[in-house]
Amino acid sequence: MNKLFDRVKKIPNIEYIILAIILLISIGVRLYKIDSPLADWHSWRQTDTAAVTRIYLKEGIDVLKPKYYDISSVQTGIFNPRGLRLVEFPLYNLVHAFLVSKIGVFSFEVWGRLVSVIAAGFSTLLIFVLGRRFINTEGGLLAAFFYAAMPYNIYFTRVILPEPLATTLGLLSLVLFIKYLDKEKYLLLVSSTLVLALAMLVKPFIFFYSVPMVYLALQKKSFKEWVSDLRLVFAASLAVVPFFAWRAWINNFPVGIPHFSWAFNGDGIRFKPSFWRWIFAERIGNMMLGIWGVFPFVYGLLKTKKGQAFNAFFFLGMVLYMSVFATANVRHDYYQTIIVPAIVLILAQGSLVLWQAKDMNKRLSRLLLLFSLLVMFITTATHIKGFYQINHPEIIEAGERVDKLVAEDAWVIAPYNGDAAFLYHTNRRGWPVIELPLEELIDKGASILVSVNFDDATNEVMETYEIIEKTDTYVIADLTKPL
């Protein structure tokens, strides 16, 4: 076996050949169900993001005032008739809109997912660069493979969400900063901070990628030396000023800013037993590492040596992120998308430790490593498989019928427990929940109700207003025509 590996290593540019294969794997596995409707796992969040792009394409691009279909007070506590959605800067949506309008070929939803797939490919390449630098070439390739093939990461880097793009930008900023420390060219530092600024505009959580940057900087110079360098102060400001400028701008439109204070510790869960269970046992231990992958991961942490702790500090930054935004990370599993690079780097490092098996039984160590990784992939794939399922296809059918039968400017009530995925499929602005008495919603402009739930409220509407269309799975009623 060792002789075989030695022969492979002697092949010219073998690491780049393997990396190319890994990149093909990264793209290939993410094409699974790439054209499925937006009704899979976390469709409520994906459709909110997709709606911004769709409205850009329909009404024209207004970068400073992105909009979506939900005009209710559910997200912001204020009636939002224009449907303003002022959260992250819409860079993801601009890329999505450009690809749909300029290239075409694929459907709107496919292009949305492909933005994330392409971003994941670049992230795979950047992780190889980081792994080669802070482990070795084999570690870089292994980390890249884990990032490309980890079932959790496959799903959450082929969704219509900004997290994959933010991750790519964060990793690029890290690589550029390392290049700056190596070559001490100020342009590299400026480039790193500008890319970090973009990443933080897309997702401010990428700020925590600065933790390993600080570690590397302090390895290079003392804190006093860095602080006294005005060029560094200027460069650092380039990273944070755009974010604060964006926040200052959107604060002029509170109607479009969803509640966000809950994300920090809204339910008081931080550091309680349930916090540790959900973050470290369920998400990292089970969903990402499939329990058995914890074994090489821990060895990767134990491998950390003084002066060679980049991976450990990267993971520390991610732990700080999950601790600061405790409630959000416990409630939603897609929030951990940005921590995957740190996870796979440590996993790769630990896998190499077990493979090399210094001071251990080499055969047993390698057998245990292979078994652990096999179980990890099987367990996590079984868990993630359900994320691709469409559990309520009736919202797609009903939404498409509304889009065909109802005027484009109609405001629709599509009750779905506050989830705007149903509303998205109607391609209309409106309410994802009956938040007020029906008469009050009609006074605000609601003219259509579509429902896939024949409860008391729906039955009352059917008895009171003219029915446009009714099947066994949905009903569409005209609220402007009482019986």
Kindly report the average pLDDT of the chain as a whole number: 93
For the record, the structure tokens of 178 come out as 């390392």
Domain-wise residue ranges, the chain: 14-64+87-254+266-387, 394-482
Query: Band of the pLDDT at 13, cuts 50, 70, 90?
Result: confident
pTM of the predicted structure, to 2 decimals: 0.94
Residue pLDDT, tens place only, 416-473:
988 899 999 999 999 999 999 999 999 999 999 999 999 888 999 999 999 999 999 9
Query: Band of the pLDDT at 229, cuts 50, 70, 90?
Result: confident
Residue 199 has pLDDT above 60, yes or no: yes
